[in-house]
Structure formats: structure tokens, C-alpha cells
Structure 1
Amino acid sequence: MANVFDTLKERGFIAQCTNEKELRELFDKERVTFYIGFDPTADSLHAGHFIALMAMAHMQRAGHRPICLVGGGTGTVGDPTGRTDMRKMLTDEDIEHNCECFKKQIARFIDFSDGKAIMVNNGDWLRKLNYIDLLRDVGACFTVNRMLAAECYKQRWEKGLTFLEFNYMVMQAYDFLELNRRYGCKLEMGGDDQWSNIIAGVELNRRKNNVAVYGLTNKLLTKSDGKKMGKTAGGALWLDAEKTSPYEFYQYWRNVDDADVEKCLSLLTFLPMEEVHRLSSLEGSAINEAKTVLAYEVTKIVHGEEEANKAKKAAEALFGGAGSTQDMPTVAAETGKKLLDVLTAGKVFASKSEGRRLIQQNGLSLNDAKVTDVDYILQASDFTDGEAIVKKGKKKYFKLVK
């Protein structure tokens, strides 16, 4: 069997690693227990978490044991990474509810039968810590100089990094220490924006337990232009079918830019790499075959085969040239323009104020997704073969054409 490090590398997951040679050897020698943490900032995981779940699934398929950690403790503080403002403080009830939602979603990706994976909540140990004991035991292992240089804190400088957030790195590092003690966990994985926090955990294990553990980060889910993937007219691209319908989810991946097809097929499906290369090498209109396969495979993984089939059939009925869009009024559209401006110019709305009211009343949909942002800007991913469908109220349909 191929070393899982090579699998992850070939598919484009790996961004950074603490010691590639040693970690590769470890994967060959033993069944490695590793962990990825998910902070319960919402009641659903989103597209940004998807890549981490796929990396975890590849690891498990190669025989290694995942620990899925939900942040019932770290969620009380909130990760400052990549933030310019402080995260909203969540109540204990919100955190508990969100953790339960995460557990159900993660179980769709990871096999927890017969001890093949472990689900833990860091609130079980972090909430019991004595502050003075923690300062003496762990605080002495951290230098403020190194913490201040960490990438995860840089964007918080302008508005001021609170002492609360400053403790986040210590808490995440302590998780790695605790998981090593409890389960023999030897590897922490996460998004590349977590590199500083992961390194802190590797160092803490070396100092306190005198053990060699490792850190590995995966690339973040970004478009070819460097912007994050996963934004829709309804907000984030959620993995919860109640928040993002399977059809809307399918359509998002069906409409990715041509330049992003290979990356998405590699990272977000289990297709063999030979097939990934074949599909992504298609040119012109033939690349739509690859996008259809991508959309189907990703939707099948997240929502199941039945929902993927339904979404595929619905998309084909609407965009497949069966005549269903032929009688719709056509509105000229352009990516980078506000949807409200396009619809007002196209006489869908008599005025912008009418459009704003309808959006605020949840009366406007774009490709079957409720539009919640009055300032939503049209993106390339909104269009399938140059078309997008707008629904005004309950019965009026319009075809946007680029």
C-alpha cells in the first residue's frame, strides 16, 4: 500500500510539515493516531472544513486512526487567526449545541465503528484546568516574543489583540499535549493558517513529555485568484442541507472556474488521480463534463448518492436545454456587478428600494438559493454555461445571461 504521505502530496493537500522524512517513516512503521480540531463557531461545518475532512478520510482509509476534536473549550475563547475583529462570544448552550451538530456531520465522513476513530471534546479537560497550575505548568514553556511573531495574531494588531485571544495558542497546544497523554496522538493536522498553533503544540509535547510529535498543514480551499472558495448568494457554503440545499451545493461546484477544476477534483473527491488528470485536461466546452463529475462526486460525499442524483437531474432539467428556460425573460448580467443593480437595470425591479425590500423579506432566489445580502455581487460560480436563474416571489422567473 502506498504511504499516505505520498497520497496526500500527490493530491495537493500538503502545505507544510514539521519533519517530512520522519513522518513518512512513521506512517510506514505504525498505525498513527492523529487529530484535527473543529471549533463550534456555527451550527454547521462549511466548505472550508471540507478539505480537512477529506484529508482525515484519506488518512483513515490508509489505516491510521483519527481523533475528531470539537472545541467545547477553545470555542469559549475563539481563534483569532485571520481575524481583524474579535469573534462573537458564544454562550455555553450555543457551544454545546454546535458541538453536537458537528459530531453528526463528521460521522458522515469518518467511520467510528470498532474504535477506528475517536470523537472528543476539549471542554472535558480545558474547563477543569486550574489557572495558576496552568500558568506554572504550561505558561513557562511559551515565550511572549515568539507568540507575538505568530502569523495567527498579526491581523488582530490594528484593533487590539485581547488577552483572552492571546491564550488561544496555549489552549490549542495543551490539547495536543493532552491527546498525546490520553491516546498516544502523534500528529496534529489542520489548515495552513493554523501552522503557528500546531508548532506550539509540537514544542509543548517535546518540552513536557519529551516525545517527538509532528504537525502537518493542508492547503486552504482557495480559487486560482487566491480568494477563498465557498461564498454564495445565501452566505457561506454549508454542509448542512437545511442551510445550503443539496441542489445549491451541487450548482456551486458545477460552476467553478475552469482553472479550479483539477484542484477541486484532487482535493474534494476520491477519484483516482488518472481520472482527475483526464477530466481536468478536457478543453473548451468539454470541461463541463469534468465540472458535472466534480459536482456529483462532491455532493454524493456530503449529502449521499440519492441527493446527488436529485440535484443532478434538477440541474439538467433547468439548464440542460430541455426548453425549461426558453420562455423566461432574459436579463443581461455581468460578474462583478451587484445583483440588485443588474435586476433593477433589467426592469425586474421598478426601483432599488423595491429590490431591497424583497431581499429583506426572503423573496428573491438565485439558482434556488435565497439571496440574503442586498449588496451581493455576482460571481462566475453563479453561472452555468453563461446562464443563471433568478426567482422573484413565488412564481416569476428570469434568466440572467452573461
Structure 2
Amino acid sequence: MNELLDELLWRGLVADSTNQEALSAHLDSGPITSYVGFDPTAPSLHIGHLVQLMIVRHFQAAGHNPLLLVGGSTGLIGDPKQTGERVMNSEEVVAGWVERLGQQVSKYVDLDGPNPARLVNNYDWTSEISSLEFLRDIGKHFSINRMLERDVVARRLETGISYTEFSYVLLQSLDYRELYKRYGCTLQTGAQDQWGNITAGIDFIRRTEQASVHGLVTPLLTKADGTKYGKTESGTVWIDAELTSPYAFHQFFLNAEDAKVIEYLKVFSPRSRDEINDLARQLEEEPHRRAAQRALADDITDLVHGVAEREAATAAAGALFGRGELAGLGESTLAGVRSEVGGGTLESGDELPLVVDALVAAGVVPSKGAARRAVAEGGAYVNNVKVADDQARLSREDLLHGRWAVLRRGKKTIGVVEIVS
């Protein structure tokens, strides 16, 4: 078997593919061109998209030529969702998101070098096609019967689906053919829910170009209970630091379940088989040390946000629980901490608020009475300093970067309060 394909299989990155023996031989035949698409339906990619970028990195490292398509046209339509019709965004909004996503995906590939990656936008060719051309030259090759068999379409028929979303598969198939003709692209990769779109494109190329091309899809990441991975209570885990802070990002992976952490390491970490197998051994023998979770969180945060941001996130986590100096944390890191742990806002006049009011506002106690009890029992802290007087007020020296204070009750209940004039 081809070495790259064997590596992808070991890492659990292959849920399905066209004829595996033929794909292996194709990869052995020399450098190939592959493509993966990203639709700009939001201002950032999320960690589900990151799986596809890991595939691209493996292909480029093996000497192949990746195309990264940001869908300026398909982003205007949107692949059908299980839950219902998408909200259409304006052309101006989508164009802005195309630019942002192009910048994001560029971080994960080499755009120069001996086998450079190339960014492409399907708006470049679809915008030139008339409706008559679309129906005659593309639509003629697609069977309504086959389109109705697609799982997402079958489910949506119960609640309704627009012709626009129903026709999405034609646009993605056109993309594959266009990239085949322009760049000799012979492999499309994507997530498992794209299998129907990918195989439709393969069939379209066979019918119109009399050529054989390939497809490969990755499993959808799930939690141990089978639910979709990548969501938190507050929403999607984005790779944009403004939408999900490096601290929250690192914490998310640090909390990975024992039952799934090795699977995630294989997907997201560059560590070798021996290193990952050793982490699996440590997980089995000493799960309380959480060595695998720390490795996962560090590796993926280094990749997405850089070593400096990962170190800041790690320092923040330690400082929050009294194992470091809060005053040394940067303003953006503290902002990320506040967004993750929660908190509130208090106004100040000539005097700063009472600590008991700050404890309530930060959400670490439910009432002033509870705050006073926490102080009396020795379990109330401001910036990791124990509070001994329930009449004490915050001081200017307590305010980190002039506006924040970290409140803690006991060992683990933490909140951040912002003081505004």
C-alpha cells in the first residue's frame, strides 16, 4: 500500500474512498494534484475544517500538489443542512469571508516551495456561465432520481428544500471538473458528509471527460457519546482568535475525553506513531496525569495560534488557580479568560466596589450573604490573595490592566469582574 495512504489510515483519517487499491497505485505513480473546498458561510473556519487542512498538510509533505478552493460561488448558495434552509448572505459579505478564509487556509500550507499549494475561487468560472449553459451542459448529466437518494436531500424532503440548495451538488461537481481540466486534479478530499457530492463529481467527470478520478473522505469527529465534536455550550470552536480565544481553544482540547483523546492526537498532532503510542500507554497506566490531553492541547494550539499564545494560555490557566502571577498575563489573554470563565461588570465612583459585590458580579457566589460566608470561611480570593474582611473594597492595585479583577471561591470556582467608571 502507498505510504501516505497507510499513514492516513493509521491516523483514522479515511472514512471512505473510491477503489482503495486504485487510489494507492495512483498515489504511487508520482505527484498528483488534489483539492479540498471550503465554503465561506461564516467569517472563520472551525476545527471541523481543520481536519481537512491536516489532510492537505499530509499530502503536501508527501510531495503532492494541493489546491485549496474557497467557494465564492458555492458560499452564496450553501450546501444543504439537515436542519433546514440556510440564510443567504449578501455578495459583499461572502466576498469578505472569501478573503478571510483564504488568509486562514494559507497558514497551513506552503504556497512556495517545490510543490506549492494553490488557492482557487470557484466564482472565477461559475460567474461566467449562463443559466442556459448550466441547464444544458451540466444539468443534463445529473439524474433527479440519484439526487433524491442523497441522504440530506431525502431528509429535507420531509420539511422542504429549495431548488437552490437541491442544485448545490451540480456546482460542486462542476468545480471538480474545472479543476481537473485546469490543473489535472485527480483527487477530491472532504468530510464524510461530502461523499455524495464528491462521487457525483467523479461521475460527472467520467461522463463528460471519459476520465477516472478519485475521492477520499474523513470521518466526522465525534465525542464518546457519538454527538458531533467541535461545539461547546457557547457555540462553535473557531480557529480565529477573535472568535475563540487561544485560552478557550487550549482549554477545550485540554478537556478532551479519555476515550477519544488518542483519536484526536492522531488527527491533529504531528507526533510520530511511537510518540502517540507512548501517550496511549501513559493514558492507560496513569490517566490522572492527563499527559495525552496536554500533548493534544499544546500541539493543536501551537499549530493554530503559535507557541507564544499557547504559552500564554498555559500560564493563564496556572495563574487562575494560584500557580502563577496574574499580573504577568497580557490583556488579550485576560480578555480570553473572561470570555471563557464568565463574569460581570461593576461601576465605580469615588470608591471601588466592595469585594463581596465583586464576588457576586463575577458569578462565583449567588448572593452577598454567600459572599460574606465565603470570606468568613477563608475561601474568598481576589487575584489569588485571600480576603479576610467582608467590608474590604477592591483597590486600584487589584485591577489588572486597570479594569479587571479575578475572583475565586475555594479552589475551582472562578470569575472575572470588569470595573468601569
Q: Which residue of 1 aligns with 2:263?
A: 263
Aligned-pair distance for 1:313?
2.1
Aligned-pair distance for 1:122?
0.4
Aligned-pair distance for 1:101?
0.7
Relative to 1, partners in 2 of residues 1:389 and 1:274: Cα closer, same or farther, differing over 3 Å?
A: farther
Name the SS for the 1:169 alignment partner: helix
Aligned-pair distance for 1:88?
0.9
Name the SS for the 2:228 alignment partner: coil
Match of 1:296 among 295, 298, 307: 298
Aligned-pair distance for 1:226?
1.1
State the percentage of identical aligned residues: 40
Aligned-pair distance for 1:320?
7.2
Deviations 1:114-141 (A, max 9, x none): 4611100001111111111121111121
Q: Which residue of 2 aligns with 1:306?
A: 308
- The TM-score, its normalising length taken from structure 1, stands at 0.80
Q: Which residue of 1 aligns with 2:183?
A: 183
Aligned-pair distance for 1:349?
3.9
Q: Which amino acid aligns with 1:313?
A: A
Deviations 1:323-359 (A, max 9, x none): 98xxxxxxxxxxxxxx99xx99x983459xxxxxxxx
Q: Which residue of 2 aligns with 1:225?
A: 225
Number of residue-to-residue matches in the alignment: 343
| Native 8 Å contact 2:280 2:292 kept in 1 | yes
Which ranges of structure 1 fall in alignment gaps of 5 or more residues?
325-338, 352-386, 396-402
Instruction: Give the Cα separation in 2 of the matches to 1:347 and 1:268.
Output: 35
Match of 1:348 among 360, 365, 368: 365
Name the SS for the 2:215 alignment partner: strand
Relative to 1, partners in 2 of residues 1:151 and 1:315: Cα closer, same or farther, differing over 3 Å?
A: same
Aligned-pair distance for 1:223?
1.2
| Native 8 Å contact 2:364 2:415 kept in 1 | no
| Native 8 Å contact 2:202 2:214 kept in 1 | yes
Name the SS for the 2:119 alignment partner: strand
Q: Which amino acid aligns with 2:155?
A: Q
Deviations 1:70-128 (A, max 9, x none): 01011111110x42211110101111111111111111111111461110000111111
Alignment of 1:2-401 (within 5 A): 3-80=3-80, 82-114=81-113, 116-281=116-281, 282-283=283-284, 284-319=286-321, 348-349=365-366, 389-391=413-415, 393-394=417-418
* Structure with larger RCO (C-alpha < 8 A, sep 6+): 1
Relative to 1, partners in 2 of residues 1:83 and 1:320: Cα closer, same or farther, differing over 3 Å?
A: farther
Instruction: Give the Cα separation in 1 of the matches to 2:16 and 2:297.
Output: 28
Instruction: Give the Cα separation in 1 of the matches to 2:289 and 2:13.
Output: 23
Name the SS for the 1:155 alignment partner: helix
Aligned-pair distance for 1:318?
2.8
Relative to 1, partners in 2 of residues 1:320 and 1:4: Cα closer, same or farther, differing over 3 Å?
A: farther
Aligned-pair distance for 1:63?
0.7
Aligned-pair distance for 1:286?
4.2
Aligned-pair distance for 1:241?
0.6
Instruction: Give the Cα separation in 2 of the matches to 1:141 and 1:177.
Output: 13
| Native 8 Å contact 2:2 2:25 kept in 1 | no
Q: Which residue of 2 aligns with 1:382?
A: none
Pick which of 251-260 and 218-227 moved more: 218-227
Instruction: Give the Cα separation in 2 of the matches to 1:65 and 1:314.
Output: 40
| Native 8 Å contact 1:84 1:159 kept in 2 | no
Aligned-pair distance for 1:2?
6.1
Bigger-Rg structure (1/2): 2
| Native 8 Å contact 1:3 1:27 kept in 2 | no
| Native 8 Å contact 1:35 1:189 kept in 2 | yes
Relative to 1, partners in 2 of residues 1:323 and 1:72: Cα closer, same or farther, differing over 3 Å?
A: closer
Relative to 1, partners in 2 of residues 1:389 and 1:242: Cα closer, same or farther, differing over 3 Å?
A: farther
| Native 8 Å contact 1:39 1:71 kept in 2 | yes
* Cα-Cα RMSD: 2.4
Q: Which amino acid aligns with 1:197?
A: N
Instruction: Give the Cα separation in 1 of the matches to 2:234 and 2:246.
Output: 13
Instruction: Give the Cα separation in 2 of the matches to 1:166 and 1:27.
Output: 33
| Native 8 Å contact 1:74 1:168 kept in 2 | yes
Aligned-pair distance for 1:155?
3.1
| Native 8 Å contact 1:18 1:215 kept in 2 | yes
Aligned-pair distance for 1:319?
4.4
| Native 8 Å contact 1:73 1:122 kept in 2 | yes
| Native 8 Å contact 1:46 1:238 kept in 2 | yes
Deviations 1:349-373 (A, max 9, x none): 459xxxxxxxxxxxxxxxxxxxxxx
Q: Which amino acid aligns with 1:103?
A: G
Relative to 1, partners in 2 of residues 1:389 and 1:92: Cα closer, same or farther, differing over 3 Å?
A: farther
- The TM-score, its normalising length taken from structure 2, stands at 0.77
Q: Which amino acid aligns with 1:107?
A: S
Q: Which residue of 2 aligns with 1:356?
A: none
Aligned-pair distance for 1:154?
2.9
Aligned-pair distance for 1:394?
2.2
Name the SS for the 1:243 alignment partner: coil
Instruction: Give the Cα separation in 1 of the matches to 2:92 and 2:241.
Output: 22
Deviations 1:11-37 (A, max 9, x none): 000000011001101111110100000
Which ranges of structure 2 fall in alignment gaps of 5 or more residues?
327-341, 344-359, 369-410
Aligned-pair distance for 1:233?
4.0
Instruction: Give the Cα separation in 2 of the matches to 1:76 and 1:30.
Output: 36
Relative to 1, partners in 2 of residues 1:208 and 1:261: Cα closer, same or farther, differing over 3 Å?
A: same
